[in-house]
């Protein structure tokens, strides 16, 4: 794995659940690529996970990735909870189904394609990559809202 890439991800939701969006900024050798999307009825956590999944999916070959997120849910899930969920067949310690297991499985699959170093940053704190990802996530929300309004 020689290609090194930085990825900044964020999710947004207007109402939780409600219309949501995800955004990712990929930076490779100074070149930036923006990705975003949204869903009409979702949660903030689902959008945070989707942002990381879509960003990693966009990589055509295995890469060394530094993935920066402001989501403690994603960080704790990937670093602490995921191995035990897999051992317990996607059940929590309380024997409940893992929330968002569909997305956690997709994220796990994508992470296994790459060498990912995870970094947490405080959201809305002036971090350039995080602010850009936040703007893209909100763009995803806005587009979903516009589509919904147009279909009425």
- List, by residue number, the catalytic residues: 10-11, 48, 70, 124, 134
State both tokens at 13: 């939701």
Q: CB neighbours of 81 closer than 8 A, spacing ≥ 6?
A: 98
| Nearest 10 degrees: Cα torsion 2, 3, 6, 10 | -110
CB 100 within 8 A of CB 45: yes
Confirm or deny that 142 is annotated as ligand binding: no
- How far apart CA 121 and CA 85 sit, in angstroms, is 25
**57 annotated to bind ligand:** no
Q: Tokens standing for 89?
A: 């067949």
- How would you classify the pairing of strands 18-28 and 64-69? unpaired
Query: Which residues make up each annotated binding site?
Result: 10, 48, 70, 134
Query: Which residues make up each annotated binding site for Mg(2+)?
Result: 10, 48, 70, 134
């Amino acid at each position: 794995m020689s290609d090194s890439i930085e990825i900044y991800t964020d999710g947004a939701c207007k109402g939780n659940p409600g219309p949501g969006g995800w955004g990712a900024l990929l930076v490779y050798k100074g070149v930036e690529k923006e990705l975003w999307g949204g869903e009409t009825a979702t949660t903030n956590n689902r959008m945070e996970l989707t942002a990381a999944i879509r960003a990693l999916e966009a990589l055509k070959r295995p890469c060394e990735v530094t993935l920066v997120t402001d989501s403690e849910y994603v960080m704790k899930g990937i670093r602490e909870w995921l191995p035990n969920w897999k051992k317990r067949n996607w059940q929590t310690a309380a024997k409940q189904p893992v929330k968002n297991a569909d997305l956690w499985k997709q994220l796990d699959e994508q992470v296994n394609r790459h060498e990912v170093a995870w970094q947490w940053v405080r959201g809305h704190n002036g971090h350039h990559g995080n602010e850009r990802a936040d703007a893209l996530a909100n763009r995803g929300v806005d587009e979903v809202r516009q589509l919904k309004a147009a279909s009425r």
